């Protein structure tokens, strides 16, 4: 009986305790919910205040940016005025550019997702992100290509050409719409580089080019030449006659002057863009560059062995030259320390003294003798042409590119083309006393 009473007592205690807990919970629940509601309101208020503050800070940053741009512009203007020579005759603008200027690489891209191959090699060989920033300018609005470019993050800069509309063209040029869009893209991209970003020089490549291990070394070393010699207007990584059997792969350090604008990886100065932009063509910009009105007697530097090669069969030319020619171009695979070399021999006066003597001191040989591998003991030889037709015939027979642009042969300097034929150096050259190009030879 006592044991039963104890169990009842304990049961009452548990019952009372349980109900007390329930009552306590019920009494405190409204207060808890009220506090929780007030806490939520406080958090929302703080978040709203933070958002307002962020907007305020953003506006301050925009103001700082605007005033900074104005200050830098004024500072640059004052600096420009302070470094003018004291004489009345002003030096050309490019003489004011430092040999240590930043050289951005502008990659002209469109709808090739294989741009990854180009960018991977550029990033692999790039010695300095600061000295050689990479700017990819994309036309066409191709999403897959845009995703590939974006995947590189802040290792590159990605800009997009905003005008993707078709361009009105003459009826007989409808099939050339692509060339019009390319010219428009080049103009926009180079204007961004020189007008918006204010770079003093730029290296231009396209999205289907692969670069050599010493690509950056080559441009860094030759850049001062472009500054020092007003008879130069570009440095090119390309040899138009750069098939492997036609170049001296044992001497990749050889460099030449050429009157033919090669493109395909080239360096230009901002003052050249100042000159070209107002008259930039609607299409076929590279052939336009080769006209006398643009070239104005100036030359480019080009290598014996190309520092770029193209892997892009797809394009507006529908692989016109790729299968027959471009895929055979030899890409240099040996690093040449150009920055440790004296390249002053490429300045106009030095070059003409040595190069022309080398060409016209070489014994003359007929094409038939060369094809028959005769007179090997002569070493370097010269094959002479006198007319447009003889040039084309000899060039074709020897495997040299035989087309002419405004009378200028590919890779030619004063009409002379240097190449290897069956392992021997050959100069395909006009007679001594060259007097200039004939634009009708085209």
Longest dimension (CA), the chain: 140
Q: At what angle do helices 215-228 and 115-125 cross, to 10 degrees?
A: 80
Backbone angles phi, psi at 306, to 5 degrees: -60, 145
Q: Are 260 and 410 in contact (CB under 8 A)?
A: yes
What's the distance, Cα to Cα, between the start and end of the chain in Å? 128
Q: At 379, list the tokens.
A: 């070493």
Taken in order 63, 69, 73, 76, the sign of the CA dihedral is: positive
Distance between CA 285 and CA 180 in Å, rounded?
9
Report helix angle 143-150 to 115-125, nearest 10: 20
Residue listed under structure tokens 């300018």: 137
Cα–Cα distance, 386 to 429 (Å, whole number):
9
Place of tokens 């009826």: 171
The closest alpha carbon to 205, from 127, 130, 312, belongs to 312
Tell how far CA 393 is from the center of its chain: 36
Contacts of residue 109, Cβ cutoff 8 Å, sequence gap at least 6: 115, 136, 137, 138, 139, 145, 149, 206, 207
Candidates 111, 286, 287, 438; catalytic one: 286
358 near 416, Cβ under 8 Å? no
Residue labelled with tokens 């390319």: 182
Partners of 108 in the beta sheet? 137, 206
Q: How far apart are CA 266 and CA 187, in angstroms?
A: 15
Is-catalytic flag, 286? yes
* Distance, CA of 81 to CA of 161 (rounded, Å): 34
| Matching residue, tokens 């009409």 | 415
Residues annotated catalytic, as ranges: 286
């Amino acid at each position: 009986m006592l044991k039963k009473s104890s169990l009842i007592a304990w049961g009452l205690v548990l019952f009372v305790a349980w109900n007390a807990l329930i009552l306590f919970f019920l009494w405190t629940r409204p207060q808890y919910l009220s506090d929780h509601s007030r806490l939520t309101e406080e958090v929302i208020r703080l978040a709203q205040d933070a958002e307002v503050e962020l907007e305020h800070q953003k506006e301050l940053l925009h103001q700082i940016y605007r005033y900074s741009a104005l200050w830098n512009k004024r500072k640059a203007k004052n600096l420009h005025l302070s470094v003018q020579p004291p004489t009345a005759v002003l030096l050309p603008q490019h003489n004011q550019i430092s040999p240590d200027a930043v050289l951005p690489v502008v990659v002209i891209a469109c709808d090739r997702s294989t741009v990854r191959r180009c960018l991977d090699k550029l990033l692999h060989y790039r010695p300095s992100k600061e000295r050689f920033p990479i700017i990819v300018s994309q036309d066409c609005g191709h999403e897959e290509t845009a995703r590939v470019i974006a995947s590189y993050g802040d290792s590159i800069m990605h800009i997009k050409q905003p005008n993707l509309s078709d361009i009105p063209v003459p009826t007989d040029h409808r099939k050339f719409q692509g060339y019009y869009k390319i010219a428009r893209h080049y103009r926009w991209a180079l204007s961004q580089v020189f007008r918006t970003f204010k770079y003093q020089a730029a290296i231009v490549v396209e999205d289907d080019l692969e670069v050599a291990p010493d690509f950056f070394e080559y441009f860094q070393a030759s850049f001062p030449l472009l500054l020092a010699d007003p008879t130069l207007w570009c440095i090119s990584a390309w040899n138009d006659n750069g098939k492997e059997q036609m170049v001296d792969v044992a001497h990749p350090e050889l460099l030449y002057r050429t009157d033919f604008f090669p493109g395909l990886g080239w360096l230009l100065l901002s003052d050249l863009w100042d000159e070209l932009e107002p008259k930039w063509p609607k299409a076929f910009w590279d052939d336009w560059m080769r006209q006398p009105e643009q070239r104005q007697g100036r030359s480019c530097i080009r290598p014996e062995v190309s520092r770029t090669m193209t892997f892009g069969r797809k394009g507006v030319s529908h692989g016109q030259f790729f299968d027959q020619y471009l895929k055979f171009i030899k890409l240099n695979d040996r690093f040449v320390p150009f920055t440790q070399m004296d390249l002053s021999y490429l300045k106009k006066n030095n070059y003409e003294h040595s190069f022309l003597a080398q060409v016209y001191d070489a014994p003359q040989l007929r094409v038939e003798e060369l094809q028959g591998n005769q007179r090997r003991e002569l070493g370097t030889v010269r094959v002479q042409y006198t007319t447009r037709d003889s040039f084309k015939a000899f060039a074709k027979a020897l495997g040299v590119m035989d087309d002419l642009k405004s009378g200028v042969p590919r890779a030619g300097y004063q009409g002379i083309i240097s190449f290897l034929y069956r392992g021997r150096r050959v100069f395909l050259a006009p007679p001594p006393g060259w007097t200039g190009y004939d634009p009708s030879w085209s």
